[in-house]
């Protein structure tokens, strides 16, 4: 038994000596900084509509008519600064900005829920929610967006696909002509 134990220890020692070392670190000129070190919040945008029959969940396959009121709820895993944008084929506008805590929060104007009312002549649009750690949301949230305006109304189109430095979620709102 002693000989078996000694042989096993010798084999283990040889294995340790044969193992290659860790690769040398990259030279400083090849190192790349990645972000601010603070993780982005996890964000979800929920949309409800009132077409005159009371508040209902937004349906992706339904087109809404003039007069429909749209309300927004945000879910965050931590406190964050948020911006709600409306993006159509012609323009991008900031609807509101706010600082919200973790959990579910309705976007508000004063003490009332924020409601976007669909007006005559509006086209399909995406409501885009951007979120960043407190103090990290750009003063002009629109400046960092990169997307193809021709795809805004398409189900496969995405504004969030071109946003890499902020948390993002979006919902397409189809409008009846």
DSSP for residue 12 = H
> What is the C-alpha to C-alpha distance for residues 168 and 129, in angstroms, rounded to an integer?
6
* Percent of the chain scoring above 70 in pLDDT: 79
3-state SS class at 9: helix
Give per-residue pLDDT as tens, 146-160: 777 777 777 777 888
Residue-averaged pLDDT of the chain: 82
48-65 average pLDDT score: 92
CB 104 within 8 A of CB 151: no
Give per-residue pLDDT as tens, 118-147: 999 999 999 999 999 999 999 998 887 777
> What is the C-alpha to C-alpha distance for residues 25 and 117, in angstroms, rounded to an integer?
57
Question: How would you classify the pairing of strands 115-117 and 43-50?
Answer: unpaired
> What is the C-alpha to C-alpha distance for residues 59 and 50, in angstroms, rounded to an integer?
12
pLDDT tier for residue 30 given thresholds of 50, 70 and 90? very low
Describe the strand order of the beta sheet including 80-87 as a list of residue ranges.
63-64, 167-175, 125-132, 80-87, 92-100
> What is the C-alpha to C-alpha distance for residues 54 and 151, in angstroms, rounded to an integer?
31
pLDDT tier for residue 58 given thresholds of 50, 70 and 90? very high
Look at residue 28 and tell me whether its pLDDT is greater than 50. Answer: no
* Percent of the chain scoring above 90 in pLDDT: 53
> What is the C-alpha to C-alpha distance for residues 45 and 64, in angstroms, rounded to an integer?
18
**Which residues are bridge partners to 9 per DSSP?**
none
């Amino acid at each position: 038994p002693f000989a078996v134990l000694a042989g096993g220890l010798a084999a283990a020692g040889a294995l340790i000596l044969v193992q290659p070392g860790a690769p040398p670190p990259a030279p400083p000129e090849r190192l790349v900084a990645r972000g601010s070190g603070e993780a982005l919040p996890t964000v979800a945008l929920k949309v409800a509509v009132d077409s005159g029959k009371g508040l209902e969940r937004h349906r992706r396959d339904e087109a809404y008519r003039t007069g429909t009121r749209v309300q927004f709820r945000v879910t965050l895993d931590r406190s964050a600064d948020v911006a709600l944008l409306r993006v159509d084929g012609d323009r991008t506008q900031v609807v509101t900005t706010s600082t919200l805590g973790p959990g579910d929060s309705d976007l508000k104007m004063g003490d009332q829920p924020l409601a976007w009312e669909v007006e005559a002549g509006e086209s399909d649009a995406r409501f885009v929610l951007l979120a960043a750690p407190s103090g990290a949301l750009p003063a002009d949230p629109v400046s960092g967006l990169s997307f193809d305006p021709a795809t805004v109304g398409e189900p496969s189109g995405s504004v969030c696909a071109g946003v890499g430095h902020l948390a993002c979620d979006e919902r397409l709102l189809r409008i009846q002509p």
